[in-house]
Structure 1
Amino acid sequence: MLSRGDSPVLVVGAGVGGLAAAIHLAAAGRPVLVLERAAAPGGRIRRLHPGGLAVDAGPAVLTLLPVFQALFAAGGARLEDHLMLRPLAVLGRHIWPDGQQLDLLADRRAAEDAIGDFAGPAAARGFRDFMARATRCHDALEAPFLTAQRPGMLALGALAGKLGTSPFGTLWDALGRDFDNPRLRQVFGRMAAYVGSSPLLAPATLMLVAHVEMSGLHGIEGGMGRLAEALAAVAVAQGVEIRHGATVAELLVQGGRIAGLRLADDTRIAARRVVLAADAASLAAGHFGAAAAKAVPRLPAARRSFSAFGWAMAGRAEGPDLPRQTVFHPADPVAEYAALARGQMPEVPTVTLWAQARHDPAPAPDGAPGGAEPLMTLVAAPARADARPADPAPVEAASLAAMARAGVTLRRDAVLAVTPRDYEAEAPGSGGALYGQAVHGWQSIFSRPAARTALPGLYLAGGTTHPGAGLAMAALSGRLAAQAVMGDRG
């Protein structure tokens, strides 16, 4: 039998969701022990080191800055004292095979002018109308959805009048209301890809992502890993103990509720409250023990979000001066997303290049050894093993060709590839899905696992749980998990 005593709340995983939960719990006076299998905090914020150069291989920018300012404040700290942020003037450069390009700018008036130059006055008006609807959508859903333990469906019905379109329709159809130009529809359809989903199937409510993006994207000086390091420091200052190299092998259950956990070295730690800040699919698949597996339902393979092929590189991007993010679009986005939804690789994929040392359009920096800069390219892939290629080489060749057509060539001094199988190895049972459940269909936003599970004493946090994928959503999930822990008795 495990001794229950006055045990701490255990948090499994030192990603943003886990660290957020720990900070909120500690601020409320709860003893907290964080168990992290890796040697450093971060979770999905991961670094690879091709040729010894640090490259962010996870989230590349910070969104919803007020969420993180509030999180640091909850821990008695100021974000600005821990991180140096670099706001991005260019949210992304979009390039098509025929050479046409559009820089999507952070300043709304400047973005409207750029879109007008790109596609005419009607397109500029469409952008203005679309952004007004996206803002109304965000404001209407923030309280009843983003910050609620269980989102309420009643909010969707009220949205119909505010959006001028049905929130039960698709994002692709909603974009068609404002954008006659198919390439602008393609640009803003990328909002669904940010959460591993297809705009052909995603609900119209995902237009709120446009408001989030236009509210500001920030790079972090020194890389995204600095965010995890700073949050860990705030947690420790609040009295949280973080134990690295601690792999959780099993969640222990007694009397129908959580009783603690067992580490890979067979150490057992008793607890009546455990926050699992790991992929919910791994829990459901039994990778934290059979006794806890039914705490959440299993996610069918067809409902998984996209995975990705990625290449972290030390080298240089040669060609036109590039911003931090450049997106190389195929001519036919419908064919691409339809293939991915079928579990197949598209013949011509969208390629995203992150030149991580750049913020505004600029030439490659010369400060690194040999003039190398950190680069990351990503291509969406299905999180299903039935059709995706085992060999990343053809996808890599297609990516390089897409960039070369736009006049961008890569000098690659050192390269590390990441495949869907690598992501699956990090989160067994996920199929390599990067964002948990795909946001396909209006009901999908209500069916992500919530903070409370069916197993008393076990709570969830992280980007595969409610309210959704992304660093800011993971931070909110940690707050919701902490609130659930503090609101339950027994």
Structure 2
Amino acid sequence: MARVVVVGGGFGAMAAAARLAKLGHDVTLLERSDHVGGALTSVEADGFAWDAGPASTLLPAVVRDLFRKSGRPLEREVDLAPLDLVREHRFEDGSRLALPGGSRAAQLAAFEGLGPGLGHQWVGHVASYGEVWELLRKEWFERPFDPDVAPRELTDLLGRRESLHRRLRRAFDDERLRLVAGHRLVMDGHALRDVPTFAGVDVYLEQRFGAWTVPGGLAALGTAMAERLALRRVDVRTGTEVGDLVVRDGRVVAVSTRTADGSGTVDADVVVVGVDPRRLPALAAHVRRTVPAFPPVVCHVGLDGEVPDLPHEVVLHGDPLLVVRTGGRAPDGGAAWTVLARGRLVEDPLVALARRGLDVRRQVVTRVDRTPRDLVELFGGSPHGVRWAGPRTARQRLGPRTPVAGVLAVGAHATTGSGLPFAGLSAALVAELVGRA
């Protein structure tokens, strides 16, 4: 039995802690805030509630596998349900695209509605990622990368210099299709000129597996994970700031901590880092060539009275790029929206939204605003991980292994994918490396 210390309380860290505890290890999780969950929590005010971070997820099999491998099946804990639409896109020329998930035929028809031939262009582009995903899944996301034994196809893919921006310009003459294909990465804070082509695989995952959520808010998944930690008897210590790793003879032996009661250390045979490694001096030097992908501006609003009938997510393309999410909880007669903004935001997000035809300013009864800096401070780092700066970024980030013996990494900063499923896959890699007690 190894003494495992998990640093951080986000989804990737919780997933790693639950898996390792189920494997028989003595696991302690340290979280600096007063609760676990990270971005997978809720924001509440005046009877309204909003997801603090993501409102939907891809690859539900990853979450199901996590719950099955750590105890009771997901279905006994949380109602993870498919969404009819991945999202709705609204373009500056007035055209709209309701993007379905989980169906090639449905996406073909939706894009044909934008213009003759566009559907076939789209499904052809998405199909080109089929083999890419299978290679990445088997050799990158589900197997610890070792350059000495990695397949040539994988190393060639990871080293390919063509940017996603250039690939999309070659694939589509219609700018609207390029906007849809790059949307997830742009909203995660990346410039498509710096993103390698393989990172565009999300469009394949959306079409193949669809998007999923929990009715009432995805934060319920964070609550279920906290309960799973208790079931697995993980020693969860909130209000505990980790100052650094304690390393002797090149190997980690403990972590230094600070609490309201003073400083101390927690002994460890293995440390799993689920936070931005820049926060730990022992690791910071190893990631100095990377920078975080900063979050967008976020405005949670509680509305009263009749509001426009929107799907769970609407994207308003332009500058600024706006996203409206409608899945929050509200008192009777109300609605809870979250507005996210990226780009040149020189005005209130609700003013920018009103200029796009969605004016709800007179119906606001409460609001919670958070800047990118607020979110980084709240979550202890960017929930979007490392910003792409070309293909080399894939190997410059740390995870699952790190240069310090006994230290592994999980979560947004340790994976090249975006969102909960990739954080969950990184936790599975760490559990594989540590093994059974």
Deviations 1:255-301 (A, max 9, x none): 43222123212233222221121112222xx3xxxxx245633245x
What is the aligned counterpart of 1:272 among 269, 285, 289? 269
What is the aligned counterpart of 1:396 among 341, 348, 364? 348
Conservation of the 8 A alpha-carbon contact between 1:93 and 1:325: yes
Identity percentage over the alignment?
Answer: 28
Distance apart, 1:479 and its partner CA:
1.8
CA distance in 2, matches of 1:317, 1:148: 51
Show the counterpart of 1:20. 15
Show the counterpart of 1:110. 106
CA RMSD of aligned residues (A): 2.7
Distance apart, 1:320 and its partner CA:
4.2
The secondary structure found in structure 1 opposite 2:99 is strand
Show the counterpart of 1:32. 27
CA distance in 2, matches of 1:439, 1:479: 23
The secondary structure found in structure 1 opposite 2:384 is coil
Segments of structure 1 that go 5 or more residues without pairing to the other structure are 1-5, 161-165, 287-291, 331-347, 358-366, 382-387
Q: Which letter maps to 2:107?
A: A
Shift in alpha-carbon separation, 1:416–1:299, aligned structure 2, 3 A: farther
CA distance in 1, matches of 2:97, 2:354: 15
Q: Which letter maps to 2:26?
A: P
Shift in alpha-carbon separation, 1:406–1:109, aligned structure 2, 3 A: farther
Conservation of the 8 A alpha-carbon contact between 1:176 and 1:185: yes
Show the counterpart of 1:314. 302
User: Are positions 1:354 and 2:325 aligned together?
Assistant: yes
What is the aligned counterpart of 2:183 among 187, 190, 195? 190
TM-score, normalising length from structure 2? 0.89
The secondary structure found in structure 1 opposite 2:323 is strand
User: Are positions 1:56 and 2:51 aligned together?
Assistant: yes
Conservation of the 8 A alpha-carbon contact between 1:313 and 1:416: yes
Show the counterpart of 2:421. 472
CA distance in 1, matches of 2:145, 2:95: 44
Where do 1:166-181 residues align within 5 Å? 167-181=160-174
Conservation of the 8 A alpha-carbon contact between 2:386 and 2:412: no
User: Are positions 1:380 and 2:342 aligned together?
Assistant: yes
CA distance in 2, matches of 1:423, 1:469: 17
Show the counterpart of 1:443. 392
Conservation of the 8 A alpha-carbon contact between 1:400 and 1:409: no
Conservation of the 8 A alpha-carbon contact between 1:282 and 1:427: no
Q: How many residues are treated as equivalent by the alignment?
A: 428
Shift in alpha-carbon separation, 1:444–1:255, aligned structure 2, 3 A: closer
User: Are positions 1:298 and 2:298 aligned together?
Assistant: no
CA distance in 1, matches of 2:304, 2:108: 32
Conservation of the 8 A alpha-carbon contact between 1:96 and 1:328: yes
Conservation of the 8 A alpha-carbon contact between 1:67 and 1:472: yes
Shift in alpha-carbon separation, 1:321–1:52, aligned structure 2, 3 A: closer
Deviations 1:386-439 (A, max 9, x none): xx9xxx7x3425x533444334535321111111221342466x5xx4423212
Distance apart, 1:484 and its partner CA:
2.7
CA distance in 2, matches of 1:175, 1:317: 42
What is the aligned counterpart of 2:357 among 406, 426, 432? 406
CA distance in 2, matches of 1:473, 1:194: 17
The secondary structure found in structure 2 opposite 1:54 is strand
Show the counterpart of 1:81. 76
Q: Which letter maps to 2:13?
A: G
Q: Which letter maps to 1:38?
A: S
Segments of structure 2 that go 5 or more residues without pairing to the other structure are none
Shift in alpha-carbon separation, 1:210–1:13, aligned structure 2, 3 A: same
CA distance in 2, matches of 1:158, 1:33: 39
TM-score, normalising length from structure 1? 0.80
CA distance in 1, matches of 2:305, 2:91: 18
What is the aligned counterpart of 1:423 among 375, 387, 399? 375
CA distance in 1, matches of 2:284, 2:359: 49
CA distance in 2, matches of 1:187, 1:231: 32
